[in-house]
Amino acid sequence: MSSLTSSLADAPVQDTTRVRTRSYSNRHWGNALFVLPFVCVYIALLVIPVADGFWMSLHDLDVLSGDSTWVGLQNFVRLWHDGIFRGAVWNTFVFVLMTTPAFVALGLALALALNRQDRTGTALRTIFFGSSVLSVTIVTLVWRLVFMTDIGLLANVMHFFGLSAINPLTSSALALPAIALVTVWWIIGLPMMLFLAALQQIPEEIYEAAAMDNASRWRTFWAITLPSIRRTVALVATIEVILQFQLFGQAQLMTNGGPNNASRPIVQFIYEAGFQQWALGYSAAAAQVLFGLMLIGVSIQMWLSRRHDAQ
């Protein structure tokens, strides 16, 4: 704020050309016009609904009859004591920890391997992107057929190797990892392409210099590639944490949260409370908790990447 007033105060004493030149690098209200359209949409369609949702979480609400009673923080207290919800929070964290590193590592590996402009590259990229095209209904249906007890693809492969087959979706220990696997299969395309787009930004000359030095593939990667795309690594990690925190369809359709609440994520809990049990206030409270957890997750990542930037 103070620099704005000072620049305004400075303005009259300087010739117009200089003021305009300076204003590009200095703070200027006009520059806010770039972000204004998005910010308007953002406030109207995200900030206001979020505030509305928070207000709902402090009420006991019935959508259909329109009844609403102020209950303060009671919904949050109830969540704290709800074993199913605590299980859902745990499952969600485990799921994020399983999938995010996989998306970053595999996405980057595929991008590095497929950053080539020949037909092979195009074909392979299309395959890895291809699964993203399917809707969650189809993805889960196909994988349920793959995992199907005794006669599914997995069971057949296991039998072929003389192993006893089990349907991972019916095991409390394996259900969540199986859902994680399916999720990685489904949407590896996004991180892969984000990394590809970033690799395009690294100038050829740097690699040429490295090739002259006979630097090994591994050294080139650590010394040149990774530092050049560190912003994208942070971006992908952040995006994946956010996306995977919101796990829903895969779990609902493949295991319905079971067995024994071993794979119910928070969003499924929110959906069930809101849409099946019609406990809107309770559902909104759970959504606020998820929002809070994700906010903490995003902040930590931003802080980490910023600290990394500063170094």
Partner 1 sequence: MSTQHIAGKRLGDRLILLAVIVLALIWVAPLIWVFGLSFKPNAELMRHTNVLFSPPFTLKNYTDILGNSSVFRWILNSAIVSLGQTFLTLVLCSLAGYGFARTEFPGKKVLYIAVLAGLAVPEQAVVIPLHHIFADLDLHNTYSALILPRLAAPFGVFLMTQYFKAVPKDIEEAALMDNTPRWKIFWRVVLPLSVPAQATLGIFTFLNAWNDYLWPLISASKPEMYTLTLGLATTQGNFAQSEGIGFLMAQAVFAGLPIFVIYLFFQKYIVSAVAGTTVR
Partner 2 sequence: MKLNDICKSLLACSVGVGALAAMPAHAEQTTITLARFFGACEADYGKVNDVTKAKGECGIITSLVNQFNATNKDGIVVKPEIAEWGPYYDQLTSRIVAHNVPTIAVMHQSVLGDFVSRKLVEPLDDGFKSVGINTADFTPQARHGVILGGKTYALPFDTWSWLWHLNTNILKKAGLTNADGSPILPKSPDELLAQAEKVKQATGKPYFAWTTANETAAPTRTFFTLVYQQNAQVFSADGRKISVHTAAATNALTLMNKLWTGGYIKKGLDYGATQQAFLNGDVAVDVVGNWTIDDFYTAAQKPDSALHDGYDVVPFANLYSKQAVFADGHSWVMIKGGAKSDKEKKAALTFMKFLWDHDFDWSRTGHLPANNTVVQSAQYKAMPFRNNIIDITRYGVSTPSNVPRQRAIEAIVGEEISSMMLSGKAIPAVEDAIETRVNTLLAGVK
The Cα 10–Cα 14 span in angstroms is: 7
Tokens 């609440």 sit at which residue?
261
What residues numbered 170-209 form the site for partner 2, per CB under 8 A?
170-172
Phi, psi of 61 (to 5 degrees): -120, 145
The Cα 135–Cα 137 span in angstroms is: 5
Q: From residue 264 to residue 303, what is the string marking binding to partner 2 with x (rule CB under 8 A)?
A: --------x--xxxxx--x---------------------
Binding site partner of 14, from partner 1, partner 2, none, Cβ cut-off 5-8 A by kind: none
Q: Where does residue 287 rank: exposed (0-12), middle (13-18), buried (19+ CB within 10 A)?
A: buried
- In whole angstroms, the minimum distance from the beta carbon of 232 to partner 2 comes to 37
262 DSSP 8-state letter: S
Query: Is residue 151 a contact residue for partner 2 (CB under 8 A)?
Result: yes
Nearer to partner 1, 153 or 163 (CB): 153
**Stretches 64-72, 156-164, 176-184, 207-215: which one binds partner 2 (CB under 8 A)?**
64-72
The Cα 200–Cα 189 span in angstroms is: 17
Length of the chain: 311
Query: Is residue 34 a contact residue for partner 1 (CB under 8 A)?
Result: yes
The Cα 93–Cα 244 span in angstroms is: 9
Nearest to 190 by CA among 138, 146, 242: 242
Q: From residue 98 to residue 137, what is the string marking binding to partner 1 with x (rule CB under 8 A)?
A: ------------x--xxxxx--xxx-xxxxxxxxxxxxxx
Query: Is residue 254 a contact residue for partner 2 (CB under 8 A)?
Result: yes
Q: From residue 235 to residue 274, what is the string marking binding to partner 1 with x (rule CB under 8 A)?
A: x--xx--x--xx-x------------------x--xx--x
Nearest to 279 by CA among 76, 63, 85: 63
Q: DSSP 3-state assignment of 61?
A: strand
Contacts of 22 (CB under 8 A, 6+ apart): 7, 14
Query: Is residue 135 a contact residue for partner 2 (CB under 8 A)?
Result: no
**Stretches 70-78, 83-91, 93-101, 142-150: which one binds partner 1 (CB under 8 A)?**
142-150
Out of 12, 37, 72, 162, the residue judged to bind partner 1 by CB under 8 A: 37
Nearer to partner 1, 130 or 172 (CB): 130
Out of 22, 28, 53, 62, the residue judged to bind partner 2 by CB under 8 A: 62
CA terminus-to-terminus distance, the chain: 28
Binding site partner of 194, from partner 2, partner 1, none, Cβ cut-off 5-8 A by kind: partner 1
Contacts of 287 (CB under 8 A, 6+ apart): 53, 57, 270
**Stretches 50-58, 81-89, 158-166, 170-178: which one binds partner 1 (CB under 8 A)?**
50-58
Out of 6, 31, 126, 149, the residue judged to bind partner 2 by CB under 8 A: 149
Query: Is residue 209 a contact residue for partner 1 (CB under 8 A)?
Result: no
